[in-house]
Chain A
């Protein structure tokens, strides 16, 4: 097989720290190559060097055995290096074709900038066909679902005739079906001889799609392995540098009385249809379902973030009215949103200020007291930060999640609702988040966990509710739960199975 890409001895220093030291990466044509490592291991930096965004301090880059050591963004593009970003960069108001060919439109008259729309739509159609997508070139991007938008990023890479395509955590916002479709496309690309670099925290995917994998840790090259001849535990050990014996360190709390009971809850938009469920003290309740099945909408209503159309909420046996997040917080309910950066944290504010935000009781603040509170959580949750005065935006994903947790631990909350608690979080930090959940249920608190990662639900939840198209379609106890059962409930549609929740 032909060596499509060879990066050797890459070194990159930022003031005061090595971001990369002696990193190697070799990718063959027609290969899917996993790039693994915890947050901050240097994956992004390495890919930015490949894309010409940063110059490396030392080391060589060869593409198709041609020396490309001096890389610029233009050169990277010309050599066929394409990126599929985790966060989508699309102009929502423009149509599909305009997005795919943005900056490279075919012109009838280049001087006047008159666009040849016929040619544009024809080329776009060809690309969409290759992707197996049903969207039309004239569809407005803002109206498309997330999975389709992601396809456009891939389409952009294809339209550039990319020879090396980098997928940066492409599946974080996709449901299972969409992931399957994405993998199909990756396989098509692979057969066309494209070299693919695949970055993901989901090890399951690495085993499913990758041929080889390179592991980085703290900016250092740990090794490259043949995925077929390596175990999951070996990979994890390579990534975190220590053995993580148990991916899901489940511990059981004392399950007590019902603390939260929801009856016939519906929203205005019709995304939640008459949902009833309950949660007990000392229990981790999981919510499974496809993306868009209404799970997030339920918990947002429960937290007062969105208005409730119908339904009753009982907390500790008493009926309560929840109109605003403040009402929910007063009832001891808190929500750790899926979108940490957009909804959970103020990135430009300090760790201490974020932690204290929901619980500033004094009108005149005592800064020393607030700092002491933050400091206490920094130590107990092991938040890695220079100090509690550091802006939260500078922390890694796992540590940001811990700050969100600290925010709510700082209140008198008893029901902790986690929406995708480990999204974009590396293996080591994941285990810590699970430990915190264990701790919570041991303190007779309640955890409600929405997750699209089935292994996580199977591993941690005592009881799993499954949703499909806004309805609750199943309730499964931990001992009975399997991926197959959950997927059956999640895809079978609400009308086949009666909701079993009481």
Chain B
């Protein structure tokens, strides 16, 4: 017998109708509508200054989102991404202030991110833990450690080169180096997810872990690798963030993991794993960030901005429900 869920509807070619089209491309439609709406309401929205501002903000959380999307596809989450970013970013500032050279600083930050990723991955596979719970714990842990070390105080005296890491203009007035780094990460990870064994293993483990294991995939090793890669991406995001802020801020990037997860899910990733892609997640993060940006331009109270952003996430996942149950 066929599985009843799969029996009748899904195997048969559907007529393409407008509702289906809307649902399929809802994220893109919403993004376009948002851009048009905000630019009609406020002339400031499409101004060079604002676009520049936008592109300076997005890469940090965007890079984290790319990592989280890869994790979601593998069927795992990481709530500690924000803390890893803060830890690695602050550590990078500390080393930069101490006078270490740029390659050493960046490499050290990425190694720190990998290390925390390894810790997350190792505990999850070794003790068969739920990633949600474990990373909830490590989130507090990592954040606590960096706050303890810095005593919660900003690390100041950042050398110029560190500030320029993400704030160097490239060609036009609204593109900065961090935008380029983000673009490179997106392209690289899109390629990895679609064209490498590693990427396809992510989908295999996420969609049916047992089938993947019985196909000879070393799922434990794979999951640790994914966490290490995700951790290093979070660290990279942290470095760019601190460079942006021009200070080592151990309490920054709180909730980035959750925000990135929301963006990935808006972009089509499934919480249950096996589904999702990097370009979709990028559209997801753009949607959320443009909303935040637009509301700020409209001069909305920042508290209500937060509420509205939350509302958008709720609406997005409800739309996703309809998309899945077409």
**Contacts known (A14-B12, A19-B8, A44-B2); A353 close to B203, Cβ less than 8 A:** yes
Size bracket of the A interface: 35 or more
Alpha-carbon distance between A394 and B8 when the two chains are bound, in angstroms: 9
Q: Is the CB of A346 within 8 A of B211?
A: yes
Q: Is the CB of A342 within 8 A of B8?
A: no
Alpha-carbon distance between A358 and B9 when the two chains are bound, in angstroms: 30
Residues on B with C-beta less than 8 A from A191 are none
- Flag whether B4 is at the interface (Cβ < 8 A): yes
Alpha-carbon distance between A395 and B7 when the two chains are bound, in angstroms: 9
Chain B nearest Cβ from A34, distance in angstroms: 15
Residues on A with C-beta less than 8 A from B204 are 346, 349, 353, 357
Alpha-carbon distance between A177 and B218 when the two chains are bound, in angstroms: 39
- Flag whether A420 is at the interface (Cβ < 8 A): no
Residue of B7, B10, B203, B218 most packed against chain A (CB within 10 A): B7
Q: Is the CB of B210 within 8 A of A343?
A: yes
- Flag whether B14 is at the interface (Cβ < 8 A): yes
Residue among A19, A54, A326, A363 making CB contact with B216, cutoff 8 Å: A326
- Flag whether A261 is at the interface (Cβ < 8 A): no
Chain B interfacial residues counted at CB < 8 A? 35
- Flag whether A362 is at the interface (Cβ < 8 A): yes
Considering only residues 323-363 of chain A, those with a C-beta below 8 Å from chain B are 324-326, 328-329, 335, 337, 341-349, 353, 357-358, 360, 362-363
- Flag whether B13 is at the interface (Cβ < 8 A): yes
Chain A nearest Cβ from B191, distance in angstroms: 9
Residues on A with C-beta less than 8 A from B198 are 363
- Flag whether A484 is at the interface (Cβ < 8 A): no
Report A169-203 CB contacts with B as 1/0, cut-off 8 Å. Answer: 10000000000000000000000000000010000
- Flag whether A473 is at the interface (Cβ < 8 A): no
Chain A nearest Cβ from B8, distance in angstroms: 6
Chain B nearest Cβ from A98, distance in angstroms: 24
Residues on A with C-beta less than 8 A from B214 are 303, 305, 325, 335, 337, 343-344
- Flag whether A407 is at the interface (Cβ < 8 A): yes
Residues on B with C-beta less than 8 A from A341 are 3
- Flag whether B125 is at the interface (Cβ < 8 A): no
| 28 intermolecular pairs with C-beta atoms under 8 Å apart | A14-B12, A15-B15, A16-B12, A17-B12, A39-B1, A44-B7, A44-B8, A305-B213, A305-B214, A326-B216, A343-B210, A344-B211, A346-B204, A346-B274, A347-B6, A348-B207, A348-B275, A353-B204, A357-B204, A358-B216, A362-B197, A363-B196, A363-B197, A364-B196, A365-B196, A393-B3, A394-B10, A424-B1
Top 9 A-B residue pairs of the complex, sorted by shortest distance between their CB atoms: A346-B208, A346-B207, A394-B11, A358-B215, A329-B216, A326-B216, A357-B215, A360-B197, A343-B210
